[in-house]
Chains A and B, each alone.
Chain A
């Protein structure tokens, strides 16, 4: 029997290793998961795409006019969109950079032979275990100018006796929200990097020591390149999450003061639910998806190029 004929026979039998019945059984097992994925992921995603082409201005069923791409063009003519995009980019860049830098530093520390290392590692996971809404409420209290812990701490340490308005001006408020986000999300970076550190063979460090390389050189020449895959994963994850930031803003500032902490996701929510411009909100949501996809692709390309350059 020729190879092509053998393949045809195998295909007819429903696979390479099993019979037709086995294939059907596998399909039956996968079907419930497929239905769930379609229902809760694919259908809403496609439905949102459809809505973005219509002028839907109510949650109720009804006839809404088809407007083609006008919701998308409206986004690009909306001056508020550019303002919230600026806040989002700032939030994404600063929070991701801070979380990554801190995360690598803490992971290196937790990878070193510390006393009670298990305890420190458990402690680091705590902020991440906290729901974002709770984290937001917690930091809102901490920053409260009248009875907040931060002003209380500064006062008791004798550093400042002023009731600082931590959420009182747009840029400061955005930075304070970033701090709250960094406090929570550095944990996940630590765990990814820690996992990456444990895959680096100890002999490489021994060889570096024998060759007389210093700590910084060892970090730059061995640790960092070998951590690149872990950094890539965590960078993509954190960028996507930061770009979509909504809940911590909703709880801590409500987008204020003077709209200074409004992000694209928050603005999308306002347009879709508070203003009932579902078509416009859907277009904004799709633009977030496209932006996140573009960012992730860019990161992965850069890291891949870096890795290849490292190999060469």
Chain B
């Protein structure tokens, strides 16, 4: 027997003081505790939610910015509870920036039954079983009745992880009084070249110091604006093999366009610190003449309580670039949390909120996902300016990459795009660096 093997039993056999004994047993207890709470042993990977009885209390998580307002959602919920007296709904609201992380943090505890998910999350949430696969609950008729961009929103790998609810893309808004003052024909805003020409006129005539405002803060909002320009300049995020392709011609041209607009003093430098709400505030204060934003800005920028330029706001389809005018798919869906113990009641709530009559009623805040709504005079009357533009733009939407590590890839891209916007790197170098980092993240 070796010396080492002899030494081990001596720890237990030798005469030890009480303090030594406590230290040894404490250490052994700690080791046992750590082993017992090892993450490789507990639980199962399948969701442990339950269908419930179609009645009871449910809790839903929404965002409090673009799309339906908090008041809209409370009103919809009150109407749902009136129609379904056995179900009580508690609605919580967080900013878009907190929505993903709150959903993730609350998932294991099953805090929420219904969660609002962005179009970029079905791959991540579906694969990690944070939300339920609801393909079996999805009526096949919906695929025909909903617009293509809406159907794609909660879908990953042929499965549905929710029901589309907010169908949105970025539209081009302008202040018609400003354009009149600078003698600009709005037809000029049909292309990005025309927009830049108009911006130069607005600046030189002193109407606005910075005619354009964008949401280019280091956040997902930046990627949404970049996506829209990437499409207009003929770029793509990933190639057919799934490798980053945004550092090729169209992607680089889009970023050079963005940077040049800052250098020329046409885009407000505050854009790099702005989110969509900042864009709305600056535009509504008359400090910018043109802006790209979601549908919701039209209603609020024309509301005298919220805006100093109400009555002067016009909306257009996104301007065309050299290769077209696709819009970013900025849609969102309502999903069933995988750990929900009351999935039947939650599903009833989801189908109510996404139903055509409810969506038609609140079309001013967010346009319906249903095709026939766009021919409904009541819907057109609710939002007569946006609906005709939406009919054109919603047929051509670009999806951001549907990959499990989208968030990490997006963070890399946001940081590098900002470096190019701030002039720290050339557009090509920034996108090459982003592509190099993103490649590592996209490896299976």
Contacts and interface: CB of A to CB of B under 8 A. Distances in A.
Contacts of A145: 269-270, 273
Interface residues of B, number: 49
B146 to A, nearest CB: 29
Contacts of B37: 46-47, 50
A61 B47 CA distance: 9
B282 interface: yes
Contacts of B129: 58, 60
A62 B273 contact: no
Given A145-B269, A273-B104, A254 B97 contact: yes
A156 interface: no
Nearest to A61: B43
Interface in B28-74: 30, 33-34, 37-45, 47
Q: Chain A interface: which size bin? A: 35 or more
Contact of B107 (A46, A56, A60, A144): A60
Contacts of A147: 281, 285
A258 B415 contact: yes
A46 B219 CA distance: 33
A63 to B, nearest CB: 5
B100 A169 contact: no
B407 A60 contact: no
A152 interface: no
Interface in B399-421: 405, 407-408, 411, 414-415, 418-419
B415 A259 contact: yes
27 contacts: A46-B30, A49-B34, A51-B39, A54-B38, A58-B129, A60-B128, A60-B129, A60-B338, A61-B108, A63-B41, A63-B45, A64-B40, A66-B40, A145-B270, A145-B273, A146-B270, A146-B281, A146-B282, A146-B285, A147-B281, A168-B273, A253-B218, A254-B217, A269-B101, A273-B100, A275-B405, A277-B408
Interface of B: 30, 33-34, 37-45, 47, 97, 100-101, 104-105, 107-108, 124, 128-130, 209, 217-219, 268-270, 272-273, 281-282, 285, 287, 338-339, 405, 407-408, 411, 414-415, 418-419, 422, 424
Q: Which 10 A-B pairs have the closest CB atoms?
A: A61-B43, A256-B218, A62-B45, A258-B418, A58-B128, A273-B101, A259-B415, A275-B408, A145-B270, A258-B419
Interface of A: 46-47, 49-51, 54, 56-66, 144-147, 163, 165, 167-170, 253-259, 269-270, 273-277
